[in-house]
């Protein structure tokens, strides 16, 4: 079957929450970010903006991950089994020791619907995630930074910017192999009949 490697890559991808301490070579990071920027976008505005945090910037960012946990803690405590809850809490406090955190933003445009703009950023993020998988890296896409987005914007010097935070992504070499979550059924509705 043509393109079988792509389908295998998609099915192999997992959200990684434990990373090896190994640094990611800069050319590898450049490749996965270039792949992100080849995503389609509404009106070809390419409205994504990526902030790559490494070294002391990544370490300073940890405080915002920890603050985000305080917002999510009451909900997750009810939803997760105790062992998974504790694992998740550790991830928020350490980001799994990921050496790189990428923050994805959307650049609003007066001629573009905001939902389309956000969707364009997420298409770029999916490209990034799959490119990282192809490079032997693991990622975890996080909506939790939105819980403290104003503080993160100040941290990045964006408090007076129109950029809109969309998500964060941890990146590093995986230190565990989580099982695949089962896919939910009945997510596709077929209308009409395909022509043979």
Give the confidence band of 193 by pLDDT, cuts at 50, 70, 90: confident
Per-residue pLDDT, averaged over 65-72, amounts to: 96
Supply the pLDDT for residue 195.
64
* Chain segment 37-47, per-residue pLDDT in tens: 999 999 999 99
Per-residue pLDDT, averaged over 52-57, amounts to: 98
- Taking the domains of the chain in order of start, what are their residue ranges? 11-172
Assigned fold of 11-172: NADH Oxidase (3.40.109)
Among 1-5, 58-62, 187-191, name the most confident range. 58-62
DSSP line for the chain = -TTHHHHHHHHH--B---B-SPPPPHHHHHHHHHHHTTS--GGG---EEEEEE-HHHHHHHHHHHHHHHHHHHHHHHHHS-HHHHHHHHHHHHHGGG-SEEEEEEE---TTS-HHHHHHHHHHHHHHHHHHHHHTT-EEEEESGGGGGHHHHHHHHT-TT---EEEEEEEEE-BS--PPPPPPPSS-----S----
Supply the pLDDT for residue 194.
73
Give the confidence band of 158 by pLDDT, cuts at 50, 70, 90: very high
Entry pTM? 0.95
* Chain segment 130-148, per-residue pLDDT in tens: 999 999 999 999 999 999 9
């Amino acid at each position: 079957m043509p393109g079988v490697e792509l389908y295998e890559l998609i099915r192999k991808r997992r959200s990684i929450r434990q990373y090896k301490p190994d640094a990611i070579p800069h050319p590898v990071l450049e490749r996965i970010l270039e792949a992100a920027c080849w995503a389609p976008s509404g009106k070809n505005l390419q409205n994504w903006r990526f902030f790559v945090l490494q070294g002391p910037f990544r370490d300073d960012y940890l405080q915002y991950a920890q603050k985000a946990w305080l917002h999510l803690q009451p909900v997750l405590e009810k939803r997760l089994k105790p062992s998974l809850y504790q694992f998740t809490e550790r991830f928020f406090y350490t980001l799994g020791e990921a050496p790189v955190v990428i923050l994805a933003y959307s650049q609003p445009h007066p001629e573009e619907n905001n939902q389309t703009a956000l969707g364009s950023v997420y298409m770029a993020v999916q490209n990034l995630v799959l490119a990282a998988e192809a490079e032997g890296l693991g990622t975890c896409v996080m909506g939790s930074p939105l819980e403290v987005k104003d503080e993160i914007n100040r941290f990045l010097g964006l408090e007076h910017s129109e950029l809109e935070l969309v998500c964060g992504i941890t990146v590093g070499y995986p230190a565990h192999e989580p099982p695949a979550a089962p896919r939910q059924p009945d997510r596709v509705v077929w209308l009409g009949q395909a022509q043979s």
